[in-house]
Amino acid sequence: MNVLKKNKLKLDELLYEWLVNKKNIKIQTFQKYEHLINKYLINTLGQVKVKEISEKIILNFFINLENQEISTSICKTLLYIIKSVLKEAENRNLCKHIDLENIKFQKYIPKVNILCKDDQTRLEKYLKNDINIRKICILLCLYTGLRIGEVCGLKWEDIDFQNKNLKVKRTIQRIKNKNQTDLTKTILIASTPKSESSTRVVPIPDFIIELLKIYKNKNDFYILSNNEKYYDPRLFEYFYVRVLKKCQIKYINFHALRHTFATRAIESQMDIKTLSEILGHASVDITLKIYVHSSFELKKKCIENLVEFMSH
C-alpha cells in the first residue's frame, strides 16, 4: 500500500475487510457482526482515518454508547470487533499499538417484564382448556424456560417420555437471505443452540408429559409443525399474542415467559445453580443479573423469615 493511500485509509475499509475474511463461523454470527458494524461503527469510528485512531477516540465512542443505554453484550461484541481489526492493522503497520484492555463497561441490565401470578394462573387455565399442541408448547415454555427458537426446534425424538425430559439440540432462527435471485428478504434456518451451555437436558413436569403423549408422532417430525418442516417462530409468537388477548392479559413478548419461569423458580426456592443449568446459562451470574427479578412478595417473605429466625 503506497504512503498516500495509507494516509487516507479509513477504518470502515478495514472493518469490511475483516468481516469478509471471517470464516468458519455460523451464518447468524456473521450477520450479527455485519449488523453491528453497519449500525454502530461505519458512521462513527468507521469515518476516522486509521493512522489517527487512538484509545481516547475509542473510549469516547463507548462512553456515548453507554449513555444511550446500549446493552453490555453489544458493547462487548463491538469491542471484540474493534480489537481484532486494530490488531490486524498494527500487524500490517497501518497504525500504532492501541491498548484497549482497560475499557470496562457498566452493567446495564434492561428492564424485563414477567407475568404476575394471577395472570399466569389465568393463562394456564385457558391453555389447559380445549388443548392443542401449540397451547402445550406455551405451557412447556412456562415450566422449562425454553426460548422460542428452541421450542420451535424440538422434534419428537428430543422428548424422553420414560425419563421425563427433553434435549435442546437445535434452534430455529430467521436470518437475512443472501440469495440475490430470491425476492424473500429473510429465511428460516435450523442451527445448533447459541452456546455450548445452551445444549442441555431439561426436566419436563408430569402433567406436560401426559399432554405430549396425546400428540406423539414420528421421531423426525417437529413437534409444533407435526411434520418434517420446522415451525416459524413468528407464527408461534402471533398465536401467543392471540392467546393473551383472549385471556385479557396485557401484552408482554414471548421471551417474558422465560423471565417468568426463572422468577417463579426462585420464588419456589429452586437453587440458583440448578436454575442456571436449566436455562442453559454459561454462569450463575447471568441468571442472577438478567433473569431473576425478585417480587415484593418474595422480599416480604425473606424479611419475615429473618424475624422468625432471630426470635428463636
Residue 17 has a pLDDT of 93
pLDDT digits (tens, 9 = 90+) for 173-203: 887 777 656 666 788 888 888 777 789 999 9
Please give the mean pLDDT across all residues of the chain: 88
Residues 189 and 248 in one domain: yes
Return the CATH number at 24: 1.10.150.130
Q: Look at the pTM and tell me if it is higher than 0.75.
A: no
Return the CATH number at 273: 1.10.443.10
Catalogue the long-range contacts made by 253-258 (C-beta closer than 8 Å, 24 or more residues apart).
253/113, 254/141, 254/148, 255/112, 255/147, 255/148, 256/112, 256/113, 256/114, 256/115, 257/115, 257/138, 257/141, 257/142, 257/145, 258/141, 258/145, 258/146, 258/147, 258/291
Residue 107 has a pLDDT of 60
Residues 123 and 172 in one domain: yes
Residues 58 and 122 in one domain: no
Residue 4 has pLDDT above 90, yes or no: no
pLDDT, mean of residues 117-136: 96
Higher pLDDT: 240 or 197? It is: 240
Tell me if residue 129 falls in helix, strand or coil: coil
In a domain, 288, yes or no: yes
Higher pLDDT: 31 or 242? It is: 242
Residue 38 has a pLDDT of 93
Residue 138 has pLDDT above 90, yes or no: yes
- C-alpha span between 282 and 193 (Å, rounded): 12
Q: Which domain holds residue 172?
A: 117-301
Residue 253 has pLDDT above 90, yes or no: yes
Residue 35 has pLDDT above 70, yes or no: yes
Residue 2 has pLDDT above 70, yes or no: no
Among the residue ranges 104-108, 138-142, 298-302, the one predicted with the least confidence is 104-108
